Amino acid sequence: MARLHLFDLDGTLLHGTTAPVEISRQLGLEAETVALDTAIASGRIGPPEYATQVYGLWKELTEEHVAAAFTAAPWLTRIQEVWTEIREAGDYSVVISLSPSFFVERLTQWGAHATFGSRFPALPFREPVDPAGLMSSAAKVRIAAGLCTEFGVGLTDCVAYGDSLSDKDLFEVVPVSVAVNADRHLEGRATHTYTGRDLWDAYELVRRAR
């Protein structure tokens, strides 16, 4: 039976940061976005409020800024090697993130089978954010269930990789999970724990488990 590997982005594939922070860095608005990240990580605000506020910061955002942020971001090493191995094994790798889909979708060029993120308007922004398109921890579970149907696997064949509160719901419904550089919200919830900057080493914890 094939396996479905479900990867979070912020704090997981990205080391010690989030896509919005890296995007805002290109606009000189890093500190403002770090404050928003702290608020959502602690549960003081939710995805809709976060998206509305970060949208307000990104009035001058262009595709060029996003491309520069993606290139300069502190990614874990060997992401592409892991996804190549997963594909060659007949398994699937998917990224599901609360971050904007216009950033997350760039990971398909690294070998992810699919990506899902919060839907923002096209750049440069001319339309408001639609709350219905924003990702949440519960939405991650719904998307995972839909992907299981699409790929012909079950939730019992899934492996989740995450680091924070937004991954808690997914960790509770899959049998195998890897807490990657995780915070206190995932304490005692993961099958495996990894601290470091190499995705292959995190993947190695579950690579041979079937």
Q: Is the pLDDT of residue 21 over 90?
A: yes
Query: What distance in Å separates the CA atoms of residue 73 and residue 79, rounded to the nearest whole number?
Result: 13
* Strands (E) located in the chain: 4-7, 92-100, 114-118, 158-162, 176-180, 192-194
**Which pLDDT score is estimated for 210?**
59
pLDDT greater at residue 22 or residue 185: 22
Tens digits of residue pLDDT in 37-91 = 999 888 899 888 999 999 999 999 999 999 999 999 999 999 999 999 999 999 9
**Distance separating alpha carbons of residues 120 and 125, to the nearest angstrom:** 8
Model pTM?
A: 0.95
For the ranges 113-117, 160-164, 176-180, 205-209, the lowest mean pLDDT is seen at 205-209
Residue 63's identity, in one-letter code, is E
To the nearest whole number, what is the mean pLDDT of the chain?
A: 95
pLDDT score of 209 more than 80? no
Q: Which pLDDT value is given to residue 138?
A: 93
DSSP 81: H
pLDDT at res. 187 = 84
